[in-house]
């Protein structure tokens, strides 16, 4: 009886010391590791890494000839839960007398966007996407009201 108790005591002792040493080895490994801290303003142009899928701001890509892919269907506007997107469209006649809805102005309010990405997912033409430009702080609310289509842009053929 007394022997088994003593054995238990000594085994507990050894086990405890071993687990403490394992803990110390683990923390020393972390000590020697490369640190994960991002030194943000300094590393903006060097080591800053933003994940590709990060949603920072809605943009509408334009090609070199100032063409976008928005067909002004209005699905993004309808699906936006916050009413962040507002499209202004007009009916235009092309050369053959066919009437067509054309985008005039694509307004996007960064201030009320909750970055759910529903607009991007619903777009049939992949005309809009989220970019990584996350430094969006401004001093006035009005500056958050963005127009996504460029001046004089038109639908890509």
Partner 1 sequence: MEQYYDLTPLLNLIHTWLCGWMPEWLALTLEGIVVGVFILIMYAVLAIILIYMERKVCAAFQCRIGPNRVGGKGGLLQVPADVIKILTKEIITLKNADRFLYNLAPFLVILASILTFSCLPWNKGGEILHMNIGIFFVLAASSIGVLGILLAGWSSNSKYTLIGAVRSGAMIISYELSIGICVLTMVVLSGTMDIQAIVANQADGWNLFKGHIIAIAAFIIYLIAGNAEANRGPFDLAEAEQELTAGYHTEYSGMHFGFFYLAEYLNLFITAGIATTLFLGGWMPLHISGLDGFNQVMDFIPGVVWFVGKTFAVVFLLMWIRWTFPRLRIDQVLTLEWKYLMPVSLVVLLLMTVCKVFGLVF
Question: Which member of 24, 50, 78, 114 binds partner 1 (CB under 8 A)?
Answer: 24
Binding-site size, partner 1 (CB under 8 A): 15
Contact flag: residue 33 with partner 1 (CB under 8 A): yes
Does residue 43 touch partner 1 according to CB under 8 A?
no
82-106: b (≥16 Cβ within 10 Å) or e: eebbebebeeeeeeeeeeeeebeeb
Q: Is 31 in the site for partner 1 (CB under 8 A)?
A: yes
Residues 148, 149, 155: CA angle, nearest 5 degrees? 145
CB of 91 to partner 1, least distance (A): 58
13 lies in the binding site for partner 1 (CB under 8 A): yes
Q: How far is the CB of 57 from partner 1 (least distance, A)?
A: 28
DSSP, collapsed to helix, strand or coil, labels residue 97 as coil
Smallest distance from the beta carbon of 90 to partner 1, in angstroms?
Answer: 53
Alpha-carbon span 25 to 136, nearest angstrom: 43
């Amino acid at each position: 009886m007394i022997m088994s108790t003593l054995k238990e005591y000594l085994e507990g002792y050894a086990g405890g010391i071993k687990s403490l040493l394992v803990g110390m080895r683990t923390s020393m490994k972390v000590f020697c590791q490369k640190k994960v801290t991002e030194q943000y303003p300094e590393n903006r142009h060097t080591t800053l890494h933003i994940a590709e899928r990060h949603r920072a701001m809605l943009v509408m890509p334009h090609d070199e000839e100032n063409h976008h892919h928005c067909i002004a269907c209005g699905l993004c506007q309808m699906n936006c839960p916050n009413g962040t997107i507002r499209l202004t469209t007009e009916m235009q006649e092309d050369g053959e007398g066919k009437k067509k809805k054309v985008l005039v102005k694509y307004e996007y309010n960064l201030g009320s966007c909750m970055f759910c990405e529903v607009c991007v997912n619903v777009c049939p033409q992949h005309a809009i996407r989220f970019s990584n430009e996350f430094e969006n702080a401004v001093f006035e609310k009005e500056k958050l009201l963005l127009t996504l289509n460029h001046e004089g842009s038109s639908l890509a053929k």
